[in-house]
Amino acid sequence: MSRLEIILTAILTLSVALNVGLIYYLRIVLRTLLSFSEEMDDLQEMISSFSNHLGAVYEMQTFYGEPVLASLLEHANSFNEYIGTFEYIYTLTEDEDGEEGNLLDDNDEETQEENQT
């Protein structure tokens, strides 16, 4: 082997190893991002539920007009709106039909089906 072939082989090996490492790292980062997206969706649902519940309590005759509850309700609604600004993050795991799905799991299923055939 000539010196040029040795250098090119070393560069090719290094490139392949680097690409495999980057693909592995990308997969880990995507799983983390999708997990975070699902958690943000759950958080948004919890805050929305809390806000609705607080609104229902505030509307009860016993508590209607209570300034502390009114302030708490306003704060809960503003916090819910603020979390809504991050909708682009927690909608990453939703399909167009509104059903939740995991992109990596879909790819894993396709790979398993290909291996079976």
Of residues 86 and 96, more confidently modeled: 86
Please give the Cα distance from 50 to 76 (Å, whole number).
8
- What tokens appear for 45 in the block? 């649902």
Say whether 100 sits in a helix, a strand or coil: strand
Please give the Cα distance from 23 to 57 (Å, whole number).
51
pLDDT for res 18: 98
pLDDT in tens, 27-68: 999 999 888 888 888 888 898 899 888 888 888 887 777 888
Of residues 43 and 26, more confidently modeled: 26
- What tokens appear for 112 in the block? 């398993």
Task: Read off φ and ψ for residue 94, nearest 5 degrees.
Answer: -100, 140
- Name the residue with tokens 């958690």: 39
Q: What is the band of 5 on the pLDDT scale with cuts at 50, 70, 90?
A: very high
pLDDT for res 29: 93
For the chain, what are the domain ranges? 33-110
- pTM value is 0.59
